């Protein structure tokens, strides 16, 4: 027999934005709890959003997931169900959910990571289940499924420490609000095509087979500190240099895995060299690269359009997306 609450349909919709890490997370600690091996620092981005509706329905016999209008594959559905299980446990309910999620940005933009997806899901699911969680609790909930999504729960500039070995609660913190600094990110899209090796899989393979992974883990905390200090001091060159180093060190560790995890294409290298030329021309521009071939240029709002135009002239750059710091994940509707 179901309780009254479980037969009632409860529904909430939330939106969350993607984020770009300036200090990269790559690799998990070996202790379980989905803890990152290194601290990371990101900027949440405006202008792009994942919108997710969670409807708890006593008539369902399992959780269902629709992504951008299509029934999702079993892998993503199970990942979503894992987060929902934790919400149900907290709320003391057993009701399954119908989850519908859509991105208002193209999936091949290189920004369609799990970050905005699981941040929106954590906010919508906990709300639908009648829980009122703090931003830290929401961030921890999202982090247990996807580490980068812990950062997308918050707006502006956000850090996530790596936590202690047996720590089970780990949440991101806002380092500075979105209006702290006039940074912009220009995404140079270099491929519209097929998916890369997923980040969870790529980092796991790096951690277990790359001889450079221990060096990455040892070096990353000091790069993170440099980035955080440069952000707080609004020192653009110090931030850009360290952010570029963080990305290149992460990729160096992945490239040294066996077999290699190479996310770059020729266009990625052209774009990195193009960013260097922009700097030589006096423009504020540093590159960062995630688990894909696209190059994201860290620049200033005033120069973002010029940077985008120059990036589009680089062979292999198909188009650009200009974006700025954005706000936290939030509920946009309940029923
Ligand atoms: C390269 O957060 O997608 O974007 O924790 O396994 O879900 P899981 O991985 P994910 O990894 C993101 C990796 C990155 C760098 C970053 O965002 O810090």
Encode pLDDT of 202-214 as tens digits.
999 999 999 999 9
**Are 174 and 194 contained in the same domain?**
no
- Contact 22/65 with Cβ under 8 angstroms? no
Which of 23, 25, 83, when mutated, tests ligand 1's pocket best, judged by the most ligand atoms within 8 Å of its CB?
A: 25
The per-residue pLDDT for 108 is 54
Residue 115 CA, ligand 1 centroid: distance in Å: 7
Q: pLDDT tier at 165 (50, 70, 90 boundaries)?
A: confident
Please state the domain count of the chain.
Answer: 2
**Are 172 and 236 contained in the same domain?**
no
Please compute the mean of the pLDDT values over residues 73-92 and round it to a whole number: 97
State what percent of residues in the chain have pLDDT above 90: 87
Residue 227 CA, ligand 1 centroid: distance in Å: 18
Residue 48 belongs to a domain:
yes
**Are 190 and 92 contained in the same domain?**
no
The per-residue pLDDT for 249 is 98
**Are 117 and 258 contained in the same domain?**
no
3-state helix vs strand vs coil in the chain, percent to 5: 40, 20, 35
Residue 332 belongs to a domain:
no
For 96, which DSSP code?
Answer: -
Please compute the mean of the pLDDT values over residues 14-42 and round it to a whole number: 95
pLDDT score of 124 more than 50: yes
Domain of residue 34, residue span? 10-179
Residue 77 belongs to a domain:
yes
The string of pLDDT tens digits covering residues 279-322 is 999 999 999 999 999 999 999 999 999 999 999 999 999 999 99
**Are 170 and 200 contained in the same domain?**
no
**Are 60 and 143 contained in the same domain?**
yes
| Alpha carbon separation from 219 to 216, 228, 231, 246 (Å, rounded) | 5, 15, 19, 9
Residue 172 CA, ligand 1 centroid: distance in Å: 14
Determine which residue's CA is closest to atom 14 belonging to ligand 1.
290
Cβ(199) – ligand 1 distance below 6 Å: yes
Residue 333 belongs to a domain:
no
CB contact set of 59 (below 8 Å; sequence gap of 6+) = none
């Amino acid at each position: 027999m179901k309780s009254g609450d479980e037969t009632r349909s409860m529904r909430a919709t939330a939106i969350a934005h993607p984020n770009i890490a300036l200090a990269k997370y790559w690799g998990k600690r070996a202790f379980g709890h989905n803890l990152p091996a290194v601290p990371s620092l990101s900027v949440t981005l405006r202008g792009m959003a994942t919108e997710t509706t969670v409807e708890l329905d006593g008539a369902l016999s399992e959780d269902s997931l629709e992504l951008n209008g299509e029934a999702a594959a079993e892998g993503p559905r199970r990942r979503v169900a894992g987060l929902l299980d934790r919400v149900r446990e907290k709320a003391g309910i057993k009701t399954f959910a119908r989850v519908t999620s859509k991105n208002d940005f193209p999936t091949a933009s290189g920004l369609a990571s799990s970050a905005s997806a699981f941040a929106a899901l954590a906010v919508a699911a906990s709300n639908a289940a009648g829980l009122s969680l703090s931003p830290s609790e929401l961030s921890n909930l999202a982090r247990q499924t996807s580490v980068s999504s812990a950062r997308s729960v918050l707006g502006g500039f956000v850090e996530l420490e790596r936590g202690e070995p047996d720590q089970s609660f780990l949440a991101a913190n806002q380092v500075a609000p979105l209006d702290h600094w006039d940074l912009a990110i220009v995404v140079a899209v270099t491929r519209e095509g097929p998916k890369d090796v997923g980040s969870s899989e790529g980092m796991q393979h790096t951690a277990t087979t790359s001889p450079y992974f221990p060096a990455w883990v040892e070096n990353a905390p000091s790069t993170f500190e440099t980035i955080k200090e440069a952000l707080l001091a609004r020192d653009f060159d110090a931030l850009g240099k360290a952010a570029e180093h963080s990305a290149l060190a992460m990729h160096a560790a992945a490239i040294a895995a066996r077999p290699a995890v190479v996310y770059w294409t020729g266009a990625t290298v052209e774009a990195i060299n193009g960013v260097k030329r922009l700097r030589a021309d006096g423009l504020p521009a540093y590159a960062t690269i995630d688990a894909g071939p696209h190059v994201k240029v860290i620049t200033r709002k005033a120069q973002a359009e010029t940077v985008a135009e120059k990036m589009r002239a680089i062979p292999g750059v198909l188009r650009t997306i200009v974006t700025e710091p954005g706000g936290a994940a939030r509920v946009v509707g309940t029923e």
